[in-house]
Homo-oligomer: A and B are copies of this chain.
Amino acid sequence: MSVRIAIMGATGAVGTELLDLLAERNFPVGELRLLASKRSAGSTLEFKGEKITVQELTHDSFAGIDLVLASAGGSISAEFAPSAVKAGAVVVDNTSKFRMTQGVPLVVPEVNPEAIKTHKGIIANPNCSTIIMLLPLFPLHKKIGVKRVNATTYQAASGAGARAMEELRDESVAVARGEAFERTVIPFPYAFNLFPHNAPYNDGSEKNAKLHAPVGYCEEEWKMVAETAKITGDANLKVNATCVRVPVLRAHSEALNIEFDRPTTVEEIYAVLREAEGVEILEDPASNRWPMPIDASGKDPVLVGRVRQDLSRDNTFDIWVVGDQIRKGAALNAIQIAEKLFLKA
């Protein structure tokens, strides 16, 4: 069998990673249609050594397509995903648009693969920080029982797209040399600096009444709370998140402070993590060496390490987690969903 695929947002950071992964994983691609804005139409991208011309995305782009991988932004998905579904395709959507829509499964294949079957045309790919957190957290929850996690993130430029990564590089060179630099992508000085996440923040004013975040939170933080509840289907697993953008290129790090339902040990936690799907323990304690963003960049597994007991509260432990924001945080998770959909072997 082979699958006819359209990629929406093919020229972006996630789009190009989707191409790499389809090739790398030998996904049985029947046809590959690359869709992007009018501006990018006519450019070419390579897939398995072949040049493919990018076409302009329209409502008629989906005829004969089995699978749409969408990563062109929420408003684009909102406009075009229904047309793709009408044309008979299944849409795996990387944007936040349909994640919390009732009836749309929100899937991390290692956590809730069974939800894929319930789709009615659209399957949502969760937020990157949520996926990266859940890969180690969910197995711990299943085996030991998690009462609450306090997650603090160190998020990379890639979450804001390929242009943000480029801007961070350029701004860093300028600042290091004492030169002026004009930013056009990231709203705050970013070189050698950091800031609480720039996702829309609910300050309690009327104009923010429709944001998907309670007062005092930004949407990125609330995604980690709300999406975790939807994916795990467990309202007892409580999440608090503080999201911060740091001057790193493409992997997110997270400090997880986890309170368990019962007494456990560092050894038991490591034993669960060793068996966790998609998770790799990377550490050399004797050298104070733990997962770093550059270790995870371009790699599939979510890296974990530095498990230790929190001596300030019973049954509580700290874990350090790093995952590639573009791979497992976006493109890889989408491809894994597609594999479960089409390659049932």
Residue positions of A touching B, CB distance < 8 A: 148, 150, 152, 154, 168-170, 172-173, 176-177, 187-189, 191-196, 198, 200-201, 203-205, 214-218, 225, 238-240, 242, 244, 246-249, 253, 255, 257, 266, 285-286, 288-290, 292-294, 306-313, 316, 318, 320
Select one of B203, B247, B306 contacting A247, CB under 8 A.
B247
Contacts known (A173-B177, A189-B294, A311-B214); A203 close to B257, Cβ less than 8 A: no
Q: Is the CB of B285 within 8 A of A201?
A: yes
Quick one: closest B residue to A249, CB to CB?
A: B192
Q: Is the CB of B255 within 8 A of A152?
A: yes
Select one of B200, B238, B313 contacting A288, CB under 8 A.
B200
Q: Is the CB of A196 within 8 A of B247?
A: no
Query: In the complex, what distance in Å separates the CA atom of A249 from the CA atom of B195?
Result: 14
Interchain residue pairs A-B with the least CB separation, the first 7: A216-B308, A203-B285, A238-B312, A201-B288, A152-B152, A240-B312, A169-B176
Q: Is the CB of B194 within 8 A of A293?
A: yes
**CB-defined contacts of A310 to chain B, threshold 8 Å:** 150, 240
Select one of B187, B196, B318 contacting A240, CB under 8 A.
B318
Contacts known (A148-B313, A194-B248, A247-B192); A205 close to B286, Cβ less than 8 A: yes
Query: In the complex, what distance in Å separates the CA atom of A200 from the CA atom of B294?
Result: 22
Q: List 12 A-B contacts (CB under 8 A).
A: A152-B242, A170-B176, A188-B292, A200-B288, A201-B285, A201-B288, A205-B286, A217-B308, A240-B316, A242-B255, A244-B255, A246-B247
Query: In the complex, what distance in Å separates the CA atom of A193 from the CA atom of B187?
Result: 21
**CB-defined contacts of A204 to chain B, threshold 8 Å:** 285
Q: Is the CB of B154 within 8 A of A312?
A: no
Q: Is the CB of A154 within 8 A of B194?
A: yes
Task: For the complex formed, measure the closest distance between the CB of A290 and the CB atoms of chain B, giving whole angstroms.
Answer: 5
Query: In the complex, what distance in Å separates the CA atom of A285 from the CA atom of B215?
Result: 10
Interface centre among A242, A286, A309 (most CB of B within 10 A): A242
Select one of B177, B203, B288 contacting A198, CB under 8 A.
B288
Query: In the complex, what distance in Å separates the CA atom of A216 from the CA atom of B242?
Result: 23
Q: Is the CB of A193 within 8 A of B150?
A: no
**CB-defined contacts of A168 to chain B, threshold 8 Å:** 192
**CB-defined contacts of A200 to chain B, threshold 8 Å:** 288
Query: In the complex, what distance in Å separates the CA atom of A309 from the CA atom of B221?
Result: 13
Quick one: closest B residue to A285, CB to CB?
A: B203
**CB-defined contacts of A308 to chain B, threshold 8 Å:** 215-217
Q: Is the CB of B290 within 8 A of A196?
A: yes
Contacts known (A247-B246, A288-B200, A309-B216); A194 close to B253, Cβ less than 8 A: yes
**CB-defined contacts of A201 to chain B, threshold 8 Å:** 285, 288
Q: Is the CB of A196 within 8 A of B306?
A: yes
Quick one: closest B residue to A293, CB to CB?
A: B193
**CB-defined contacts of A214 to chain B, threshold 8 Å:** 311
**CB-defined contacts of A246 to chain B, threshold 8 Å:** 154, 194, 246-248
